Chain A
Amino acid sequence: MYSSILTESRRHPGHLIDILQQIQSRDGYLSDQAMLRVAGFLEMSSATVWGVATFYNQFRFTPPARKPVRVCMGTACHLAGGQLVLEAMARELKIEVGGTGEDREFSLERVACVGCCALAPVVTIEGKVYPGMTPPGVEETLVEIKAQSEAEA
């Protein structure tokens, strides 16, 4: 199942990060099984693969939620009250920061900077940017999103 990614031209330790990125972009995360397979392919120890993968912020090791919620904690967002927004999200979603809900509908994480500092504080849900967030705004936005997904269902 990894044959399209683990090609001969990539059989070199220098391609490790590239390979992990390809797997994550296809599967959404890095499973233990995938990392063991990569270690075998590159003839590296699985500890080395695991060590590199966990070093970088990009890689995740649990399946992603359908609607990932990312609260920006860049400097501008922090100064504009991003922490309060993050706490409100955790409270409303009933998910710890860094966690995923049991139904895999939402996950919540803090990210370093999404690069639209003029709109701070910012939240992205499923990649869509929600600017100028406030704790009451969090509740409203989530109600809207839930209503929308119910309507679609």
Chain B
Amino acid sequence: MKHSMIRALSQKKVNAPYPDKITHILVGTATCGRAAGSMAVLEAFRREIEDIKEKVRAWEVGCMGLCSQEPLVVIIKPGDFSVCYHHVTPQTVPQLVEGYVRGDDPCLELALGTVAGGNGDAVYIPELDLFKYQSRVLLRNCGYISPLEIDHYAAGGGYRGLAKALKLEPAQVIKQVEKSGLRGLGGAGYPAAAKWTACAQAGGSTKYVICNADEGDPGAFMDRVLLESDPHSVLEGMIIAAYAVGASKGYVYIREEYPLAIDRISVALKQARAKGLLGRRILGSDFSFMVEIVRGAGAFVSGEETAMIAAMEGRRSWPEHRPPYPAHSGLRGRPTLVNNVKTLAGVSVILQKGWRSFRDMGTQNSRGTALFALAGKLENTGLAEVPMGTSLRTLVYDIGGGIKHGRQFKAVQIGGPSGGCLPGDLLDTQIDFDSLKCAGAIMGSGGVIVMDEDNCMVDTAKYFVDFSRQESCGKCTFCRIGTYHMHSVLEDITRGNGSSESIEVLGKLAEDVRAGSLCGLGRMSPNPVLTTLRYFREEYEAHILEQRCPARICKELTAYYILPEKCYKGCDHCVLACPVEAVFSDDKGLKVVDQLKCTKCGSCELVCPAEYNAVIRLSPVSLVPAGRRTRPDTKEP
């Protein structure tokens, strides 16, 4: 591509909300960026450009979705490349300001690549595998516009969807959503239009809309990113939904643990009110709508719609029998529409760009895109949005960049505590509501955790069951006691106390919990157990029959051992690092781990210098050679 062409492209693509003629510095300051130190970077930029304020502006933007590269900064320069820099620190800021803001050196050595246009020296980011396979529809503004500026959102077509909707009859708006094929993106995949129709047709003059932002799955953070990076797109979807079902009041039910998202949505609400997009007679129509924020007090089950309504009424977050569905009788007994953050963001896209553009993506039964939080043992962690129908393999290898440190892939856990662990030979499974369900996982919350050979599947199942056990609200006996029992059987297995019946008992408990629980949390809590039993049964058997943990993770079945042939007697790292004085020197000065004292904290393995690499883990523990198990004066176990 020629430089001039790239310039033209760069101007066309990047400058929409950013006035030309001045340089713009975008600093990603969502939660993950802040954790990596982006606020200090932003301050450093503001300090450095103090004297050229009229020509340069620094903006807070949301999350670009590349968590592993944070803090991220983009410099948009009029008539030149827009360059994205990664791992920026306050120390590298002066160089960037001198180099590219004041001068003409794009400092490519600090850059991840160019955002619009590339020149042989620099990587063109949209062409990276990481982005090539993505379709950023819900994420289109994330990390690009400032979530604190309603004008930025409007510059990209924001609130045009609402304006369009208000010119239609409510039933026609629902028709558009129906034609788009949008299904609830909170996990269950219920057709959005069907829910809307039920609520619209329910009697009564007072109706409510609730935006479900109670993202409780450990390992999922898409809703947080959307609210932190592009709150207006969620709000616009919510106002459209309210108009379509005839609601006059809305609530954003959001986790207390997301303080920044609460902040950003509060700012968005104020701005929307000031512009006449909320309140009385919105945009001159007869439609009035107000939105309030409700902060959740921390309970995983609150993500279930009837439990959420209970929490909003000041009660324990206990799910209720359905029917009646909230669409007929919800908050305070009134018809209530509950939609997830992503679903509502999808609504604004459908109304802005037309239902066809949404319907054209994805598969027959799952239209549009799926949004995932990639975490675990991947090279690239962060957010990914792919068209429905993309394979898990693309998600893990092309977008995720494969497994870190060249390790072997073992499993992908999809859908959080209610989801399932899928093995390598199911990587060609399509991502859509039905295919995932078929494989034993669910779309669920959208958390995707990739595991490598160093992760134990029994331990993973135990982890998720433990989560469900702690978060069980206690209403149904099968969920309350069943998850407790499943956890204790798994605990026995990981400790080497499993018996030949353990697997059968687990399977039976899992079926009972599934059948005897009222809500999705309970019904789906056995999924991690069922899928690991189905796909990784040999790991269970190794624990039970051989007292062996193949990944060498389960403490009771694993021993730390120092290879005498690799150990260097002049080095004392492990001795000093051991918190319980379990490492001692033998008569030759080589180190030995006293198995009676060792608490298996892993410190010795971490501090052993790479040139020796003498500390290894053995499982079963009987592999530790006799004579190197304890101090010579104690009796060997």
| Interfacial residues, chain A to chain B (CB-CB below 8 A) | 12-18, 20-21, 51-52, 55-59, 73-76, 78-79, 81, 84, 87-88, 91-92, 111-120, 122, 129, 131, 134-136, 139
Interface centre among B34, B219, B257 (most CB of A within 10 A): B219
**How far does the Cβ of B234 sit from chain A's closest Cβ, in whole Å?**
17
Given that A14-B312, A21-B295, A129-B35 are contacting pairs, would A136 and B606 also be in contact in the complex, using a CB cutoff of 8 Å? yes
Chain A CB within 8 A of B245 CB: no
List, in ascending order, chain B residues with CB within 8 A of A131's CB.
Answer: 35-36
Question: Once the chains are docked, how many angstroms separate the CA of A136 from the CA of B579?
Answer: 9
List, in ascending order, chain B residues with CB within 8 A of A115's CB.
Answer: 31-32, 221, 224, 257-258
Question: Once the chains are docked, how many angstroms separate the CA of A111 from the CA of B376?
Answer: 18
A-facing residues in B224-260 (Cβ within 8 Å): 224, 256-258
Are B602 and A135 within 8 A (Cβ)? yes
Question: Once the chains are docked, how many angstroms separate the CA of A115 from the CA of B217?
Answer: 10
Are B68 and A73 within 8 A (Cβ)? no
Are B375 and A117 within 8 A (Cβ)? yes
Question: Once the chains are docked, how many angstroms separate the CA of A87 from the CA of B258?
Answer: 26
| Interfacial residues, chain B to chain A (CB-CB below 8 A) | 31-32, 34-36, 67-68, 70, 216-221, 224, 256-258, 294-295, 297-300, 311-317, 332, 373, 375-377, 381-382, 413, 416, 447, 449, 451, 455, 460, 463-464, 467, 473, 577, 579, 599, 601-603, 606-607
List, in ascending order, chain A residues with CB within 8 A of B315's CB.
Answer: 16, 52
Closest 7 CB pairs of A and B: A118-B67, A57-B298, A74-B218, A75-B219, A56-B297, A117-B375, A16-B314
Given that A74-B219, A79-B455, A115-B224 are contacting pairs, would A55 and B35 also be in contact in the complex, using a CB cutoff of 8 Å? no
Are A55 and B299 within 8 A (Cβ)? yes
Are A56 and B317 within 8 A (Cβ)? yes
Are B601 and A87 within 8 A (Cβ)? yes
User: Pick the contact of B316 from A55, A81, A114 — CB < 8 Å?
Assistant: A55
User: Pick the contact of A136 from B295, B449, B460, B607 — CB < 8 Å?
Assistant: B607
**How far does the Cβ of A91 sit from chain B's closest Cβ, in whole Å?**
6
Question: Once the chains are docked, how many angstroms separate the CA of A56 from the CA of B473?
Answer: 10
Question: Once the chains are docked, how many angstroms separate the CA of A108 from the CA of B381?
Answer: 28
List, in ascending order, chain A residues with CB within 8 A of B599's CB.
Answer: 87
List, in ascending order, chain A residues with CB within 8 A of B297's CB.
Answer: 17, 20-21, 56-59
Given that A78-B463, A79-B455 are contacting pairs, would A116 and B32 also be in contact in the complex, using a CB cutoff of 8 Å? yes
Interface centre among B35, B67, B464 (most CB of A within 10 A): B35
Are B451 and A117 within 8 A (Cβ)? no
List, in ascending order, chain B residues with CB within 8 A of A21's CB.
Answer: 256, 295, 297
**How far does the Cβ of B224 sit from chain A's closest Cβ, in whole Å?**
6
Are A116 and B603 within 8 A (Cβ)? no
Question: Once the chains are docked, how many angstroms separate the CA of A111 from the CA of B8?
Answer: 48
Are A75 and B606 within 8 A (Cβ)? no
Closest A residue by C-beta to B579: A91
List, in ascending order, chain B residues with CB within 8 A of A92's CB.
Answer: 579
Closest A residue by C-beta to B318: A55
Closest A residue by C-beta to B219: A75
Question: Once the chains are docked, how many angstroms separate the CA of A120 from the CA of B68?
Answer: 10
Are B218 and A135 within 8 A (Cβ)? no
Question: Once the chains are docked, how many angstroms separate the CA of A129 from the CA of B37?
Answer: 9
Question: Once the chains are docked, how many angstroms separate the CA of A139 from the CA of B576?
Answer: 12
Task: Name the prevailing secondary structure of the A interface residues.
Answer: helix
Are B219 and A113 within 8 A (Cβ)? yes
Closest B residue by C-beta to A72: B218
Are B463 and A13 within 8 A (Cβ)? no
Are A14 and B314 within 8 A (Cβ)? yes
Given that A21-B295, A21-B297, A56-B299 are contacting pairs, would A118 and B375 also be in contact in the complex, using a CB cutoff of 8 Å? yes
Given that A21-B297, A88-B601, A113-B218 are contacting pairs, would A120 and B375 also be in contact in the complex, using a CB cutoff of 8 Å? yes
Are A14 and B313 within 8 A (Cβ)? yes
**How far does the Cβ of A59 sit from chain B's closest Cβ, in whole Å?**
7
Are B298 and A58 within 8 A (Cβ)? yes
Question: Once the chains are docked, how many angstroms separate the CA of A20 from the CA of B297?
Answer: 9
User: Pick the contact of B382 from A12, A84, A118 — CB < 8 Å?
Assistant: A118
Are B314 and A76 within 8 A (Cβ)? no
List, in ascending order, chain A residues with CB within 8 A of B220's CB.
Answer: 113
List, in ascending order, chain A residues with CB within 8 A of B219's CB.
Answer: 74-76, 113, 117
Given that A78-B463, A79-B376, A135-B579 are contacting pairs, would A116 and B298 also be in contact in the complex, using a CB cutoff of 8 Å? no
**How far does the Cβ of B179 sit from chain A's closest Cβ, in whole Å?**
35
User: Pick the contact of B449 from A58, A76, A87, A88 — CB < 8 Å?
Assistant: A76
Are B375 and A84 within 8 A (Cβ)? no
List, in ascending order, chain A residues with CB within 8 A of B416's CB.
Answer: 75
List, in ascending order, chain B residues with CB within 8 A of A52's CB.
Answer: 314-316
Are A117 and B35 within 8 A (Cβ)? no
Are A84 and B602 within 8 A (Cβ)? yes
List, in ascending order, chain A residues with CB within 8 A of B299's CB.
Answer: 55-57
List, in ascending order, chain A residues with CB within 8 A of B373's CB.
Answer: 117
Are B35 and A122 within 8 A (Cβ)? yes
**How far does the Cβ of B160 sit from chain A's closest Cβ, in whole Å?**
31
Question: Once the chains are docked, how many angstroms separate the CA of A7 from the CA of B242?
Answer: 30
A-B contact pairs, 20 of them (CB 8 A): A17-B297, A20-B297, A21-B256, A56-B298, A57-B299, A74-B218, A75-B376, A75-B416, A81-B602, A84-B601, A112-B216, A112-B257, A113-B220, A114-B35, A117-B221, A118-B32, A119-B67, A135-B579, A136-B603, A136-B607
**How far does the Cβ of A23 sit from chain B's closest Cβ, in whole Å?**
12
List, in ascending order, chain B residues with CB within 8 A of A84's CB.
Answer: 601-602
Question: Once the chains are docked, how many angstroms separate the CA of A14 from the CA of B602?
Answer: 49
Are B463 and A17 within 8 A (Cβ)? no
List, in ascending order, chain B residues with CB within 8 A of A12's CB.
Answer: 314
List, in ascending order, chain A residues with CB within 8 A of B473's CB.
Answer: 55
Question: Once the chains are docked, how many angstroms separate the CA of A120 from the CA of B577?
Answer: 22
Question: Once the chains are docked, how many angstroms separate the CA of A57 from the CA of B316?
Answer: 12
List, in ascending order, chain A residues with CB within 8 A of B375's CB.
Answer: 75-76, 117-118, 120
User: Pick the contact of A135 from B36, B377, B606 — CB < 8 Å?
Assistant: B606
Known: A20-B297, A114-B35. 20 other contacts (CB 8 A): A13-B313, A21-B256, A57-B298, A75-B375, A75-B447, A75-B463, A76-B376, A92-B579, A112-B216, A113-B218, A113-B220, A113-B221, A115-B258, A116-B31, A116-B32, A117-B67, A118-B68, A118-B382, A129-B34, A131-B36
